[in-house]
């Protein structure tokens, strides 16, 4: 799969792409991630990409031309699935990560500054928000998409890790423990050291339901 990120701040992605699981996925050709600084598509002096809003008001607004020209260039026939990161998009969920994982080519457009020209919305297939709060730009939200999608690509992480994790089936994950068996008076639940795998699985399933009821009743609907 290929992911193109359109951003004015490609350096922000340093680290996310050069460490840990995402780094390995790129190295193993499971995913290709390109950072495209759309400032280079500006035809204005000083490579300007924003301007003051019509009707007045504070802040600068991202202009249409560099974004339209950039997308015309990298996806002339609209074959890619195009996403705009914006707080007024639909709220991102694990199910959406699974759907995006199955796309061949995704373009993620990061908004920045105070906003963007409304006509930019006509370019995209989906507008996504990562939650009900406003960030300085779409870069961190784009990183969240990259991370959540890449880890679902077959072979990127061991698939058993995905089997029962939070949100895949509307239940939160079960509690896990490792050595030592007792730490500062806190003991590992006996069932986990019993060696009885049927009992362990039953316990885990019960814990998932209990934890979801306690913390996220909304998921059980």
Write down the least CB distance from residue 130 to ligand ADE, Å: 4
Distance in angstroms between the alpha carbons of the first and the last residue of the chain: 33
Answer for which of 8, 50, 86, 149 binds ligand ADE (CB under 6 A) is 86
Q: What are phi and psi of 52, to 5 degrees?
A: -75, 150
Residue 7 as a binder of ligand ADE (CB under 6 A): the answer is: no
Q: Which two tokens stand for residue 136?
A: 């300085």
Q: Which two tokens stand for residue 45?
A: 């002096």
Give the nearer residue to ligand ADE in terms of CB position, either 57 or 189: 57
User: Interaction with ligand ADE in 121-160: which residues (CB under 6 A)?
Assistant: 129-131, 133-135, 137-138, 141
Options 16-24, 45-53, 80-88, 193-201: segment touching ligand ADE (CB under 6 A):
80-88
Write down the least CB distance from residue 111 to ligand ADE, Å: 6
Give the nearer residue to ligand ADE in terms of CB position, either 66 or 111: 111
> Do residues 3 and 16 lie in contact, with contact meaning Cβ atoms separated by under 8 Å?
no
> Do residues 46 and 89 lie in contact, with contact meaning Cβ atoms separated by under 8 Å?
no
Q: Among 59, 56, 62, which Cα is nearest to 116's?
A: 62
Answer for which of 8, 85, 106, 149 binds ligand ADE (CB under 6 A) is 85
Write down the least CB distance from residue 34 to ligand ADE, Å: 20
* Exposed / middle / buried, residue 217 (Cβ in 10 Å: 0-12, 13-18, 19+): exposed
Write down the least CB distance from residue 9 to ligand ADE, Å: 12
- What does the angle CA 38 – CA 21 – CA 80 come to, to the nearest 5 degrees? 40
**Contact positions toward ligand ADE, by CB under 6 A?**
85-87, 111, 129-131, 133-135, 137-138, 141
């Amino acid at each position: 799969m290929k992911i193109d990120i359109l951003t004015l701040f490609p350096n922000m992605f340093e680290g996310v792409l050069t460490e840990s699981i995402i780094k390995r996925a790129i190295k193993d050709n499971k995913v290709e991630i390109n950072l495209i600084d759309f400032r280079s598509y500006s035809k204005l002096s000083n490579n300007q990409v924003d301007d003051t809003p019509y009707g007045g008001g504070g802040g600068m607004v991202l202009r249409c031309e560099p974004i339209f020209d950039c997308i015309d260039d990298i996806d002339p026939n609209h074959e890619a699935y195009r996403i705009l990161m914006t707080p007024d998009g639909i709220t991102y969920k694990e199910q959406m990560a699974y759907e995006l994982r199955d796309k061949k080519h995704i373009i993620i457009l990061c908004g920045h500054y105070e906003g963007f020209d409304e006509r930019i919305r006509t370019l995209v297939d989906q507008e996504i928000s990562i939650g009900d709060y406003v960030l300085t730009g779409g870069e961190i939200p784009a990183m969240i998409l990259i991370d959540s999608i890449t880890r679902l690509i077959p072979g990127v992480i061991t698939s058993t890790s995905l089997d029962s994790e939070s949100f895949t089936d509307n239940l939160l994950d079960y509690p896990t423990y490792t050595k030592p068996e007792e730490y500062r008076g806190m003991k590992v639940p006996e069932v986990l050291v019993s060696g009885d795998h049927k009992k362990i699985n039953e316990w885990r399933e019960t814990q998932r339901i209990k934890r979801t009821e306690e913390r996220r009743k909304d998921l059980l609907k």
